Structure 1
Amino acid sequence: MIDMTVVELSRWQFAITAMYHFIFVPLTLGLSFMMAIMESVYVMTGRDIWRKMTLFWGTLFGINFAMGVATGIVMEFQFGMNWSYYSHYVGDVFGAPLAIEGLMAFFLEATFIGLFFFGWDRLSKVGHLTVTWLTALGANFSALWILIANGWMQNPVGSVFNPDTMRMEITDFVQVIFNPVAQAKFVHTVSAGYVTGAVFIFSVSALFLLWGRHKELARRSMAVAASFGLLSALSVVVLGDESGYVATEHQKMKIAAMEAMYHTEPAPAGLTLFAIPGREPGEMAFEVKLPWVLGLITTRSLDMELPGITELVEHAAGRIETGLIAYEALQAIRSNPTDEDARATFDDHWADLGYALLLKRYRSDIENATGEEIALAAFDTVPDVWPLFWSFRIMVGVGFFFIAFFAYWFWKASTGRLETSRLALKIGVAALPLPWLAIELGWLVAEYGRQPWAVEGVLPTFYAASSLNFWDLVISLTFFVSLYTVLALVMAWLMIRVIKAGPPEKSLLSPDPEIFDAPARGAVPQAAE
């Protein structure tokens, strides 16, 4: 039998390390592009304040990038440590975009980051600007390939299960790359990263104005952040709508759970703004609903129904029964690889094999599963409703807040009145953690809403875990939580020091001729220089 305690601890470990890592990723995405914009203005105008802005925000970017690398490397090792059967089962597909990300995107980004910091005194203005833009593009390429891999987990296209190797294998890599779920997730995720970068720059700049320091840098940074942030916040909402539409096609149970919609409603379905659950599953003690809105958003039609949880569970039970046919055919193929009838049967039903594997939670000889066990496995396809319901609504609420927030400050920047209200500036500082709240909740909706699947409809999460024991996971989980907490605190401490010190006159990593000449002269310059 499956040890669900081990599975849950493995899930907790990966979730915690992923969410820690994603503290750093969106800020990398946002700051990289805004640095490139600021340096572009410097190259076009020649005004030194824009160079100082690029250096200052670039220093904070560098600290954040280093922490992102430190926390991200561990995640890929976990596929082999905690999710070994996942790596065996789908590694031929999942490993390809991860390898491309490392070879094409991460190395590109890391190389040009070095040139960004060390190249101020060695490259021409245009040459250094090119490096900065390539750094930003590298960060986005990195996110693209990671999200292609994740999008395949949500919608496993371009692949097929090979009964001879017992693995999923790629049949069409172009389909994997242009997976609609992956593309929708990419544009939505990077737009959220741009909002994060804009909020970070705006909040720190607002703090400078409240302190009465570095006002020239702060006002220009706020103007750039307000413009870039408004466009990004609008993009997040629009592209988030596209993600919902794609999920309606490929992950109907996730949509039903997010909306706490237990039964199919007449089309077009209403959108629940607020709800209090009743005593029985599917019963609402109180709810506030906007008629038609959910159906129009998710199906973009007036006559297409959204299936409810109850109906989707019944559908899952049917797929489990079909999957059992594929499972029995697979056993026949393994016993006799030349059995052409078994291969034909498997080819007709292999797409439902993953549903049959849900029964492995209840018994090993799943071909003898009872009707009650099939019903239990079918109900396992329902993720926890209320964490998804509220996470989604808080995320959306924060998104709309940022549209209003940046619209207000764009108007203030356009009229040259950024310092007229200290209360508004304090609200701008207080808004700093909100993009991270929305992003982490968004990932919770995406990943928790996919449960019980490691790969949607293909591989159950409990079936993907390694055969570790309880104490292995307790020790490793404690270690990672402690290490990542220390890294987060170190990053916060370093950033606070840089912010308090203010903008540098030169790149902190640029070589100082005095330092290199010091041994020859027998003198060592002051560290402050």
Structure 2
Amino acid sequence: MDLDIVALSRLQFALTALYHFLFVPLTIGLAVVLAIMETVYVMTGRTIWRDMTKFWGVLFGINFAMGVATGIVMEFQFGMNWSYYSHYVGDVFGAPLAIEGLMAFFLEASFVGLFFFGWDKLSKVAHLIVTWLVAIGSNLSALWILIANGWMQNPVGAAFNPQTMRMEVTDFAAVLTNPVAQAKFVHTVSAGYTVAAIFVLGVSAWYVLKGRHLELAKRSMTVAASFGLAASLSVVVLGDESGYLSTEHQKMKVASIEAMWKTEPAPAAFTAFGFPDQRTRETHFAVHIPMLLGLIGTRSLTKEVPGIEDLVARAEDHIRDGIKAYDALQTIRQARSDAEVPPQARADFEAHGNFMGYALLLKRYVDDPRQATAEQITKASWDLVPPVFSLYWSFRIMVGLGMFFIVLTATFFVLSTRRRLDAHPWLLKVAVFSIPLPWVAAEMGWIVAEVGRQPWVIEGVLPTAVAVSNLGAATVLGTIVGFVTIYTILFVIEMKLMLKAIRNGPTEHPPTPADAWRTGAGPDIAGRPRTSLGA
């Protein structure tokens, strides 16, 4: 990829998004973990659960602050680096982002302060409500962001207006209920829960290995194991739903993830292992599992999963239809009034307008798509194939790690039911070393979702190459260096703060008489010493 303005703008957004996404999943997941722990505290009255909530809350707060600091830049980039994108789809894309800021983010941010400073000022129930509102706010933030992102993957509820040259909302309910957005939301949130669960599990395992804060650590591991098992299972189930919807709405992405160069008879085989070669259009050393892709991708034995070459051939037809729409659009815009628009131009645009985005793919090769040669049309159709090798392996790394998380959390769940969490030190070490793995899986998922839809910034509507601002390459390169430098400093600061908080450990308060009575360590309800039988 040449380092032109398009490549540099994509690189900048990718780097800032990947940095930001280091903090988002942990924030989403830890907020719910805190709410669960404090719920147990309110129900039982045992101080150890309050200590657990406060300790993990400190780590949540550090991560939340860094997420806010890195997330603000993301939205400004739409105006800085993607001004034509903002003009073209701002009426649709801007609404979910505005709602996210006004409703979800302010809900979350407003109650974070009460969570930290309201322990001695609010009643137990009031503080618990605050904690749940923080958790709900963090999840609502993800909902609205993913409604916006889901619309980019499957642009429903909007239509192109030839007069304003913009996409405009026609059915906001369709935007909100977009099946791709809903599937992405539940899948992404479940992934965030898994990140938090493995984080809590790993840090708690480290305490057990060190012989520190054992009661708090073991209880945290129990919560993390049960919560993480449910979350990691959900990720697999909901990821399957995302894959099914991609087969319907993003066929090229699915074909590229599977390195399926040619259409196979239904049901298609799943390529478990191989080395895709985009230059020769074949997958070396491929290991196939018969019928599996067809069953997963179409949930039937008779539906085809089209291969890359067939999809490219279809794209050529779409590009030619798009050229007709582009020609009709120019005629419509040249008319001085709506009454002067030739009926044929209006009819051509209505018939082929859905494919105009394909004509814009030719802007990479020629200023006027109507002047494109057959060779340029063929090149543009092959531009629809994203980087196959990176997609193929990013998907498999993500899936492989997901299966590992199920095994890990299930193992500790079983150990927790038997009260043998410290029985196998080697398992505790595995949990500690697994802490960074959920982030690897999450970043791989981001690559699959975002790189997989290239060359589109809006699937089938607006190519990435025409969505950028008219900036100099040196300007964008300078901002990339600046962002990477600042974000790296922020990341180092966060790591130091998190590690310091973990090394210092939680502040544990002595048990109250109610705690001692519940555990059988203190006198009985009449004040008499307990016998061993009564204990």
TM-score (norm: length of structure 2): 0.93
Matched, 1:319 2:300: no
Residue identity matched to 2:88: Y
Q: Give SS of 1:275's match.
A: strand
Residue identity matched to 2:4: T
Note the alpha carbon deviations across 1:320-368, whole angstroms, 9 max, x for none. Answer: 0000111001100110042051223212211100000000000102111
Aligned to 1:33: 32
Aligned to 2:479: 476
For the 8 Å contact 2:277–2:389, the answer to whether it is kept is no
CA distance in 1, matches of 2:401, 2:260: 23
For the 8 Å contact 2:48–2:508, the answer to whether it is kept is no
For the 8 Å contact 2:276–2:388, the answer to whether it is kept is no
Cα RMSD, aligned residues only: 1.2
CA distance in 1, matches of 2:276, 2:234: 33
| Deviation at residue 277 of structure 1 after TM alignment | 3.9
Aligned to 2:470: 467
| Deviation at residue 281 of structure 1 after TM alignment | 2.3
For the 8 Å contact 1:451–1:461, the answer to whether it is kept is yes
CA distance in 2, matches of 1:345, 1:332: 10
Aligned to 2:334: 335
Question: Would the alpha carbon gap of residues 3 and 387 (structure 1) be closer, same or farther in structure 2, given more than 3 Å must change?
Answer: closer
CA distance in 2, matches of 1:74, 1:366: 34
Aligned to 1:517: none
Note the alpha carbon deviations across 1:87-121, whole angstroms, 9 max, x for none. Answer: 00000000000000000100000011111111111
Residue identity matched to 1:445: V
Question: Would the alpha carbon gap of residues 165 and 3 (structure 1) be closer, same or farther in structure 2, given more than 3 Å must change?
Answer: farther
For the 8 Å contact 1:380–1:452, the answer to whether it is kept is yes
Matched, 1:203 2:202: yes
Matched, 1:401 2:400: no
Matched, 1:385 2:388: yes
| Deviation at residue 486 of structure 1 after TM alignment | 0.6
Question: Would the alpha carbon gap of residues 65 and 278 (structure 1) be closer, same or farther in structure 2, given more than 3 Å must change?
Answer: closer
Write the mapping of 1:195-344 to structure 2, written as runs, cut at 5 A.
Answer: 195-277=194-276, 281-336=280-335, 337-338=337-338, 339-341=341-343, 342-344=345-347
For the 8 Å contact 1:359–1:366, the answer to whether it is kept is yes
Note the alpha carbon deviations across 1:251-281, whole angstroms, 9 max, x for none. Answer: 0000000000000000000110101346962
Residue identity matched to 1:360: K
Q: Give SS of 2:23's match.
A: helix
| Deviation at residue 194 of structure 1 after TM alignment | 0.1
| Deviation at residue 47 of structure 1 after TM alignment | 0.3
Q: Which moved more, 1:334-343 or 1:314-323?
A: 334-343
Residue identity matched to 1:58: G
CA distance in 2, matches of 1:106, 1:83: 23
Aligned to 1:450: 453
In structure 1, stretches of 5+ residues that fail to align are: 507-529
Aligned to 1:525: none
In structure 2, stretches of 5+ residues that fail to align are: 510-535
CA distance in 2, matches of 1:205, 1:4: 45
Write the mapping of 1:352-363 to structure 2, written as runs, cut at 5 A.
Answer: 352-363=355-366
For the 8 Å contact 1:30–1:198, the answer to whether it is kept is yes
Matched, 1:350 2:350: no
CA distance in 1, matches of 2:41, 2:390: 46
Aligned to 1:75: 74
Write the mapping of 1:496-507 to structure 2, written as runs, cut at 5 A.
Answer: 496-504=499-507
Residue identity matched to 1:327: Y
Residue identity matched to 2:23: F
Aligned to 2:375: 372
Aligned to 1:193: 192
Residue identity matched to 1:67: M
For the 8 Å contact 1:4–1:462, the answer to whether it is kept is no
Aligned to 2:143: 144
For the 8 Å contact 2:275–2:389, the answer to whether it is kept is no
Q: Give SS of 1:23's match.
A: coil
CA distance in 1, matches of 2:2, 2:396: 34
Question: Would the alpha carbon gap of residues 166 and 216 (structure 1) be closer, same or farther in structure 2, given more than 3 Å must change?
Answer: same
Residue identity matched to 1:14: F
CA distance in 2, matches of 1:281, 1:175: 41
Q: Give SS of 2:115's match.
A: helix
TM-score (norm: length of structure 1): 0.94
| Deviation at residue 392 of structure 1 after TM alignment | 0.2
CA distance in 1, matches of 2:46, 2:368: 74
Residue identity matched to 2:103: M
For the 8 Å contact 1:256–1:309, the answer to whether it is kept is yes
The number of equivalent residue pairs is 505
| Deviation at residue 473 of structure 1 after TM alignment | 1.1
Percent identity over paired residues: 63
Aligned to 1:512: none
Aligned to 1:51: 50
Note the alpha carbon deviations across 1:159-194, whole angstroms, 9 max, x for none. Answer: 000000000000000000110100000000000000
| Deviation at residue 137 of structure 1 after TM alignment | 0.4
Q: Give SS of 2:244's match.
A: helix
Residue identity matched to 1:443: W
For the 8 Å contact 1:277–1:286, the answer to whether it is kept is no
Aligned to 1:114: 113
Matched, 1:178 2:181: no
For the 8 Å contact 2:259–2:283, the answer to whether it is kept is no
CA distance in 2, matches of 1:484, 1:443: 18
Aligned to 2:430: 427
CA distance in 2, matches of 1:33, 1:69: 18
CA distance in 2, matches of 1:150, 1:276: 30
CA distance in 1, matches of 2:443, 2:77: 20
For the 8 Å contact 1:325–1:349, the answer to whether it is kept is yes
Note the alpha carbon deviations across 1:1-27, whole angstroms, 9 max, x for none. Answer: x99611101000000000100000000
For the 8 Å contact 2:278–2:389, the answer to whether it is kept is no
For the 8 Å contact 1:35–1:54, the answer to whether it is kept is yes
For the 8 Å contact 2:295–2:301, the answer to whether it is kept is yes
